[in-house]
């Protein structure tokens, strides 16, 4: 019974809300540290969730990140209503970006978001429908 | 030996139990209990922020003093570059060093010179290593401790290069021992320090087994004596360090001296905390080197300094400009032959000392986390500190960990008293049936 103990967190991600950018991933990191997840794993989760958070803020209209932490894994789901991704394979290529110039000037949109998420997580899946939205699912084993 | 040595201490007589320090401590290491501040040893990083904030001067830094020199046959002073900022640039570095000698030291070794060696070591290390970018400077001991307790995931980013003070201590002790034929244990090496963090670093180094430095003497401790002894002559000493090493005293001086392009300098403990958060999120991977200093302005802003930090900054900038133009007229190479290999020390790995973990058992920690959130939701959220914990969140955690109770919160206490008072009023109005005249109906009529 106790082994099924989980912690759930939910964050709303708003389009272009740079004031709150990084807030969700920082919060997640803090909680994981309190629980005692190892530093190396926290590092991967922090980077993965930060990239996902920024993607939603930069590209989507509205998004939601749900995190469920259990004893041996952290599951992250990011669902957004947004433009969706035209060509997912293309978006998974390192350095490929559709971010407009003004976003790149801020140091974002280097085309590393999705590849970084895939690299940091143990399970990574992405579903996207052009014009509807995107759903990213990641599992990080502890 | 105690588990943790701390330079920062409390003078209980002066402490009034106000909440200034608990609210500014970057690691939430202070609680008010029994009307006095209490420092939680495992959390304190000796940054000295509380020394700055305490209006009653109840927070002090333990440092060694000049009497301790009597225990050694030969004493060497290691002045931090920041010391020079306490004087107008017209007082030459030689005059300052000479004044140190007149306080009872037999020799001075400028930490600024070691800083130059360290700068080139950092340069070379960054040239050959790219794996843990951004590398973080190891020079500020309060920052190293902040990483240990709050950012254990960044320990591998700390550059494995000695701090200038540590290197200066090693060179000074080894060279003088060989030159004078005095055993190292009879040589006292004293760092003239701008901050308590360095005192702690000397007494309990995090990355090496023994420190070559025997103690640290606060600049404020000897400032008056120094001033008295600044003379016109400086015949017994020579300046050895150039502006590059001396510049380490200012925020940004270290990165400048390393000669690397992609660097960033953060100073002030809160700003350092914020920038480290960014490193964790992978935002600064394009930065090669990160200089972090706990004190705003760099070492010239240390809690054991005498001059206002902006005045010190002005003094230092003037001095740097001056010695840059002046150059060195003696050949320092002849004075100190430095071979890194000769003084190389097997450094110990810096161990994490995380204060964040709620329980050694993950499941229990998760339960506590949930309980903290629930407790927090019941608290007023004013973060007033009256309970003795720095914020409502910290109180919620203290409650869950069994160190505090909900009624420590004055607002919760008031709620409880109000509820009790209401119940009392309620009870006071109740009368036994024999006296209750308003209720005259007969017992049997009620049915």
- CATH code for the domain in which residue A14 is found: 3.30.565.10
Answer whether B45's CB lies under 8 Å from B83's CB: no
Name every chain A residue with its beta carbon within 8 A of the beta carbon of B353.
none
Select the residue from A5, A35, A113 to test the B interface by mutation, using most B Cβ atoms within 10 A: A35
Residue B48 has pLDDT above 90, yes or no: yes
Q: Identify the pLDDT of residue B343.
A: 53
pLDDT class of B44 with cuts at 50, 70, 90: very high
Stretch B34-53: mean pLDDT, rounded?
94
Helix H or strand E segment including B308 = none
Q: Identify the pLDDT of residue A59.
A: 86
Residue B433 has pLDDT above 80, yes or no: no
Question: DSSP 3-state assignment of B56?
Answer: coil
Residue pLDDT, tens place only, A29-48 = 999 999 999 989 999 999 99
Residue-wise DSSP of B183-197: -GGGEEEEEEESSHH
Determine, for residues B363 and A3 on separate chains, whether the beta-carbon distance falls below 8 Å.
yes
Note whether B354 contacts A: Cβ–Cβ < 8 A.
yes
Answer whether B49's CB lies under 8 Å from B25's CB: yes
B276 and B138 belong to one structural domain? yes
CATH of the domain at B379: 1.10.15.40
B25 and B166 belong to one structural domain? no
Residue B274 has pLDDT above 50, yes or no: yes
Interface size, chain A vs chain B, as Cβ–Cβ contacts under 8 Å? 68
What is the Cα–Cα distance from B223 to B66, expressed in whole angstroms?
12
B326 and B301 belong to one structural domain? yes
Residue B446 has pLDDT above 60, yes or no: no
Range of the domain at B409: 362-429
Which one of A7, A43, A107 has the shortest CB-CB distance to B369?
A7
Q: Identify the pLDDT of residue A1.
A: 46
Note whether B356 contacts A: Cβ–Cβ < 8 A.
yes
A2 lies in a domain? no
Note whether B152 contacts A: Cβ–Cβ < 8 A.
yes
Note whether B345 contacts A: Cβ–Cβ < 8 A.
no
* Joined tokens for residue B139: 């020079």
Select the residue from B149, B358, B366 to test the A interface by mutation, using most A Cβ atoms within 10 A: B366
B99 and B28 belong to one structural domain? no
Span of B181-185, B324-328, B356-360, B365-369 with lowest mean pLDDT: B324-328
A123 phi/psi in degrees, rounded to 5: -130, 135
Write the DSSP symbol of residue B348: P
User: Taking the CA of residue B338 as centre, how many other CA atoms within 13 Å lie in the half-sphere pointing to its CB?
Assistant: 20
A64 lies in a domain? yes
CATH of the domain at B46: 3.30.70.20
Residue pLDDT, tens place only, B379-428 = 999 999 999 999 999 999 999 999 999 999 999 999 999 999 999 999 98
> What is this model's ipTM?
0.82
pLDDT class of B348 with cuts at 50, 70, 90: confident
DSSP H stretches of helix in B159-307: 164-180, 196-203, 219-229, 243-246, 253-258, 269-280
- Residue that is last in its domain, among B16, B44, B60: B60
Note whether B413 contacts A: Cβ–Cβ < 8 A.
no
Span of A110-119, A125-134, B51-60 with lowest mean pLDDT: A110-119
A23 lies in a domain? yes
Beta-carbon count within 10 A of B83 CB: 28
Note whether B156 contacts A: Cβ–Cβ < 8 A.
no
A20 lies in a domain? yes
Determine, for residues B363 and A39 on separate chains, whether the beta-carbon distance falls below 8 Å.
no
Number of domains in chain B: 3
A56 lies in a domain? yes
B56 and B119 belong to one structural domain? no
Answer whether B248's CB lies under 8 Å from B194's CB: no
Number of domains in chain A: 1
Nearest chain A Cα to B358, which residue? Answer: A34
Stretch A117-126: mean pLDDT, rounded?
94
Residue A103 has pLDDT above 90, yes or no: no
Answer whether B146's CB lies under 8 Å from B27's CB: yes
B348 phi/psi in degrees, rounded to 5: -80, 155
Question: DSSP 3-state assignment of B419?
Answer: helix
B93 and B212 belong to one structural domain? yes
A12 lies in a domain? yes
Answer whether B182's CB lies under 8 Å from B140's CB: no
Stretch B242-264: mean pLDDT, rounded?
94
A65 lies in a domain? yes
Residue pLDDT, tens place only, B185-195 = 999 999 999 99
3-state helix, strand, coil in chain B (%, to 5): 45, 10, 40
A1 lies in a domain? no
B333 and B393 belong to one structural domain? no
Determine, for residues B282 and A36 on separate chains, whether the beta-carbon distance falls below 8 Å.
no
Helices (H) and strands (E) in chain B, counts: 17, 11
CA end-to-end distance (rounded Å), chain B = 79
Select the residue from A33, A54, A67, A117 to test the B interface by mutation, using most B Cβ atoms within 10 A: A33
Rounded to a whole number of angstroms, the distance from the CA of A81 to the nearest CA of chain B is: 24
B246 and B200 belong to one structural domain? yes
B262 and B367 belong to one structural domain? no
Q: Identify the pLDDT of residue A21.
A: 82
B190 and B334 belong to one structural domain? yes
Question: DSSP 3-state assignment of B25?
Answer: coil
Name every chain B residue with its beta carbon within 8 A of the beta carbon of A30.
356
B271 and B331 belong to one structural domain? yes
B435 lies in a domain? no
Give whole-number Cα distances, B217 to A34, B2, B182, in Å: 37, 21, 23
Select the residue from B131, B146, B153, B398 to test the A interface by mutation, using most A Cβ atoms within 10 A: B153
Rounded to a whole number of angstroms, the distance from the CA of B281 to the nearest CA of chain A is: 5
B89 and B154 belong to one structural domain? yes
Range of the domain at A75: 7-141
B191 lies in a domain? yes
Residue pLDDT, tens place only, B64-87 = 999 999 999 999 999 999 999 999
């Amino acid at each position: 019974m106790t082994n099924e103990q989980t912690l759930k967190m939910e964050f709303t991600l708003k389009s272009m809300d740079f004031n709150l950018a990084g807030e969700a991933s920082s919060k997640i990191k803090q909680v994981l540290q309190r629980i005692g997840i190892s530093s190396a794993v926290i590092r991967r989760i922090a980077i993965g969730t930060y990239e996902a958070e920024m993607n939603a803020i930069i590209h989507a209209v509205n998004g939601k990140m749900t995190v469920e932490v259990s004893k041996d894994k952290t599951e992250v789901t990011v669902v957004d209503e947004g433009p969706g991704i035209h060509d997912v394979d293309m978006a998974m290529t390192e350095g490929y970006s559709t971010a407009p110039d003004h976003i790149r000037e801020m140091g974002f949109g280097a085309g590393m978001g999705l590849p970084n998420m895939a690299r940091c997580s143990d399970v990574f899946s992405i579903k996207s429908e052009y014009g509807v939205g995107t759903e990213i699912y990641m599992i990080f084993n502890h | 030996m105690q588990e943790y040595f701390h330079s920062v201490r409390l003078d209980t007589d002066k402490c009034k139990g106000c909440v200034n320090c608990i609210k500014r401590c970057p690691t939430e290491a202070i609680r008010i209990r029994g009307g006095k501040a209490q420092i939680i040893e495992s959390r304190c990083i000796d940054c000295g922020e509380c020394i700055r904030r305490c209006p009653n001067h109840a927070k002090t830094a333990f440092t060694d003093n000049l009497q301790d020199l009597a225990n050694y046959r030969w004493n060497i002073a290691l002045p931090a570059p920041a010391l020079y900022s306490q004087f107008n640039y017209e007082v030459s570095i030689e005059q300052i060093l000479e004044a140190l000698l007149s306080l009872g030291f037999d020799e001075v070794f400028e930490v600024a010179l070691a800083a130059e060696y360290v700068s080139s070591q950092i340069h070379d290390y960054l040239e050959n290593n790219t794996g843990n970018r951004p590398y973080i400077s190891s020079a500020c001991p309060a920052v190293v401790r902040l990483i240990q307790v709050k950012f254990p995931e960044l320990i591998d980013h700390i550059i494995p290069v000695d701090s200038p003070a540590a290197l200066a201590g090693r060179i000074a002790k080894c060279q003088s021992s060989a030159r004078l034929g005095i055993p190292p244990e009879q040589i006292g090496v004293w760092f003239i320090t701008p901050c308590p963090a360095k005192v702690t670093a000397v007494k309990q180094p995090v990355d090496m087994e023994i420190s070559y430095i025997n103690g640290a003497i606060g600049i404020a401790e000897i400032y008056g004596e120094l001033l008295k002894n600044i003379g016109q002559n400086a015949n017994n000493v020579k300046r050895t360090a150039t502006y590059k090493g001396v510049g380490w005293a200012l925020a940004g001086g270290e990165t400048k001296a390393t000669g690397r392009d992609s660097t960033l300098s953060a100073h002030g403990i809160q700003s350092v905390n914020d920038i480290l958060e960014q490193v964790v999120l992978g935002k600064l991977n394009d930065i090669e080197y990160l200089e972090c200093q706990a004190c705003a302005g760099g070492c010239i802003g240390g809690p054991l300094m005498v001059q206002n930090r902006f005045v010190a900054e002005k003094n230092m900038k003037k001095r740097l400009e001056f010695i840059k133009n002046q150059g060195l007229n003696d050949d320092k190479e002849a004075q100190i032959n430095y071979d890194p290999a000769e003084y190389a020390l097997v450094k110990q790995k810096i161990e994490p000392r995380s204060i964040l973990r709620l329980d050694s058992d993950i499941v229990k920690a998760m339960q506590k986390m949930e309980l903290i959130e629930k407790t927090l939701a019941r608290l007023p959220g004013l973060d007033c500190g009256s309970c003795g914990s720095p914020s409502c969140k910290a109180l919620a955690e203290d409650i869950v960990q069994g160190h505090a109770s909900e009624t420590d919160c004055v607002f919760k206490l008031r709620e409880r008293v109000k509820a009790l008072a209401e119940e009392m009023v309620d009870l006071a109005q109740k009368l036994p049936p024999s006296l209750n005249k308003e209720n005259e109906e007969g017992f049997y009529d009620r049915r």
